[in-house]
Structure 1
Amino acid sequence: MSSSASSVLLRFGPMVYLPTILFALGEGAVLPLIPVIAAARGADLASAALVASALVVGQLCGNLPAGWLVARIGERFTMTIAAAVSLLGAVASALAPSLALFSAAVFVIGMSAAAFALARHAFMTTRVPLAFRARALALLGGSFRLGMFIGPFVAAGLLGVFHTEISALWFFAVCLIVLIVLVVFGPDPEAQASADEAAARSHRDEAGLAEDSGEAVSGSIPTAERIGVFQTMRRYRRVLSRVGAAAACLSAVRSARQVVLPLWGVSIGLDAPTIALVVGVSGAIDFALFYAGGQVMDRFGRLWAALPSMILMGGGFIALSFTHDLDSHLLWFGMLAAVLGVGNGLSSGILMTLGADIAPQRDPAPFLGSWRTLTDAGGATAPLLYAGIAAVATVSIATAAIGVIGLLGAAGFLYWIPRHVPGAASVEE
């Protein structure tokens, strides 16, 4: 494999980055409209929220089966199957005559999204050299953020032209068709990596250096001595319960940010355009910094990106919780939303990078299924926790609680990353 980082990233463009943008673009267009479509099929507010949560529940339920599937048939086939199932889910959602069928289709999209994400994560884990890993995965995270950032604007344009929310689902279907074509017929970096590895092995044999050189392994994932998902969870339970718990805190804080900022704006009496502006600026800062986190992780180590991002987000939420009744609450809201955007931007790719670092390199998919289940669970739980605390106390207390979770995650990273990710190397339990 080339020693140039740019050549590594360009090699994976047609197989990983462009499909990721397409998937996120379609999903980003659909996500804001799921409650609206559910309401049009007879759901009340509570039911519409439940239907929207079916996507997250589907992702949670899909991670472990996806790990099993990738281990059996490989990343490329799993990505293709996941995209095809998502396509069926998008078409079913557009044509669903009832709320129950629409909910089931959204759940299926969530499950297939989990499989697609895990397959590309496993692919990058085994194909990208360690020296470029964080940057490559940060770019992967940035590709997803780009699609999710543009998607809602595409949905708004489609609504303006077609005057129906279903147009976003058909747009998602078109994105998935193009994605499948790219994955199936695009350049195969796996084949090139295998050829490079074979050439390197032949060269070592000729030079009498066939023994292990310590270089990063690329090419196809070895199939020998593979173990199941649940056996993998048992074998790596220590690292999952330690680094994985801190990672779940990061996922929780990230997810809560999307809920806290709009609700905070409502609670201090701001109108919708002002809230949208503040949240939009925070999101723009987040997106602008996605590659910086990868650079920091590759150059200085994983902790130097994980710890500042968690401290910024945890401290930002706690600081925000004290500003609700201040006369300058709008100024503080804007400033701290920007701080949260910086923290979230620096964390781009961290969860995927840490998962890749500590996964068994011979067969990472089952481990990554467990890892992604933990992180997705943290992201799914945080909004519910925030809503529950706000219901029985105040939004200030609920916001502070999210900040405490962030600081606990920072402490977990500070303690466990040096012990389980020394030099960003993988860990053998």
Structure 2
Amino acid sequence: MIYGPTVLFALGEGAVIPLIPVIAAQLGADLATAALVASALVVGQLCGNIPAGWAVARVGERVTMALAGIISILAVIGLALAPSLGLFAVGVFMIGFCAAAFGLARHSFMTTRVPLAFRARALSLLGGTFRLGMFIGPFVSAGLLAFFGDERAAIWFFGVCLAATVLLVVFGPDPEHEFGTTQQISVNGHGDSRVAEDTGEPVTGAIPTAERIGVFRTMWQFRRVLMRLGLAAASLSAVRSARQVVLPLWGVSIGLDAQTIALVVGVSGAIDFALFYASGQVMDRYGRLWAALPAMLLMGSGFVALSFTHDLDQNTLWFGILAAVLGVGNGLSSGILLTLGADAAPKDDPAPFLGSWRTLSDAGGAISPLLISGITAAASLSIASGFVGGVALLGALAFWRWVPRPS
């Protein structure tokens, strides 16, 4: 019940994402417009974080996920039956908007229920469920395309996943009630929070809770954390997003065929996926910094080194090696943004803060491809790769400065 809905949503979304530009082109979009339609997914997620934080704080994780699932089903029907490019783009935007609600609902649940001793492992596993869906989804999509010969088969598959998700959320056991006695609660109305001891005795009477202060007041109250650690998180998100853009472009730039590029990117993704739980182990045992810092240093060094290999005789070999290095770095950072957000969030009502936190990190991921495109057009892809490496190294310094050390 905790990880299942996320796996189902991510699996369906992962099957649809590779086909969004293809279907957009069938509806009359040129290459640039198709890319713009595909980016509506990221824009929707960016716009959905703060409303999702508000919804989770008011109606709870379960209701928020059920509503997001129902709205996503309507969006999927719109995607499958869209007669025009505009309606198709609206459907893509709404899928991203609802994906933010799913991600934030589970993030908020983990923040309030999971004991600190294994919080990072639990959140790394949550991040791993997203990666699992995005890793397997394209293969499911390819199989459906081969069997049915219609790109919209993957969209209907997403609809089936969403229907199963809604049924699981609505009719399955509610984790909010199952784990309610172990959540961190407030002992007065002024934010003095501590962990309530679970004695095994029945709980009677009202449980005191903190006054809800709203999304925007929460942003203002925690502005220092968001401006410092939040910007470091945005740099990590930007570097992650850049990896998905730079590697395919680099393969094209050095003259590789599509099959070789797909193989290299696939191996990098497999390494990334294989390390997601190791990241949680490192964070729980040695502290958050020992996952964030090596990850940023590896990815920063990898991008900088890649920028010098374009014209070398063995540029294909270096491309494969450095793609693997970037996969290791990204894998070691799995769950770090979820964990740092949970650590920094107010314990009584984390959802509004997490909405702001995720908005910042998603903004970094959304801006990164635009910067790479602009730098590549103005200078070269090598300069763009070096720029991303510099952002990663600056982000490593920010994490070193602002990540709290374990007590």
Give 2:248's match in structure 1, choosing from 262, 267, 288: 262
Are the structure 2 counterparts of residues 213 and 83 from structure 1 closer, same or farther at C-alpha, using a change threshold of 3 Å?
closer
Structure 1 position 289 matched with structure 2 position 291: no
Cα shift at 1:223: 4.7
Q: Which structure 2 residue ranges, 5 or more long, are not aligned? A: 185-191
Number of the residue aligned with 2:150? 164
Structure 1 position 39 matched with structure 2 position 45: no
Contact 1:130–1:216 under 8 Å retained in 2? no
Are the structure 2 counterparts of residues 314 and 194 from structure 1 closer, same or farther at C-alpha, using a change threshold of 3 Å?
same
Equivalence map 1:238-317=2 (5 Å): 238-317=224-303
* Cα distance per residue 1:220-255 (max 9 Å; x no partner): 996531111111111000000000000000000000
Contact 1:222–1:363 under 8 Å retained in 2? no
Structure 1 position 85 matched with structure 2 position 71: yes
Number of the residue aligned with 1:409? 395
Number of the residue aligned with 1:10? none
Structure 1 position 372 matched with structure 2 position 358: yes
Q: Which amino acid aligns with 1:423?
A: P
Structure 1 position 119 matched with structure 2 position 105: yes
Cα shift at 1:195: 4.8
Structure 1 position 18 matched with structure 2 position 4: yes
Number of the residue aligned with 2:187? none
How far apart are the structure 1 equivalents of 2:119 and 2:327? 23
What is the identity percentage for the equivalent residue pairs of Structure 1 and Structure 2? 72
Equivalence map 1:16-415=2 (5 Å): 16-195=2-181, 215=195, 223-415=209-401
Q: Which amino acid aligns with 2:144?
A: L
Residue aligned with 1:323, SS: coil
* Cα distance per residue 1:310-344 (max 9 Å; x no partner): 00001100010000000011111111000000000
Contact 2:193–2:347 under 8 Å retained in 1? no
Normalization by structure 2: what TM-score? 0.94
Contact 2:182–2:196 under 8 Å retained in 1? no
Cα shift at 1:191: 1.5
Aligned-residue CA RMSD in angstroms? 1.9
Contact 1:221–1:362 under 8 Å retained in 2? no
Q: Which structure 1 residue ranges, 5 or more long, are not aligned? A: 1-13, 199-211, 425-429
Number of the residue aligned with 1:201? none
Cα shift at 1:384: 0.7
Contact 2:271–2:324 under 8 Å retained in 1? yes
Cα shift at 1:189: 2.3
How far apart are the structure 2 equivalents of 1:47 and 1:148? 23
Cα shift at 1:188: 2.0
How far apart are the structure 2 equivalents of 1:266 and 1:397? 16
Q: Which amino acid aligns with 1:286?
A: D
Are the structure 2 counterparts of residues 127 and 197 from structure 1 closer, same or farther at C-alpha, using a change threshold of 3 Å?
closer
How far apart are the structure 1 equivalents of 2:82 and 2:130? 27
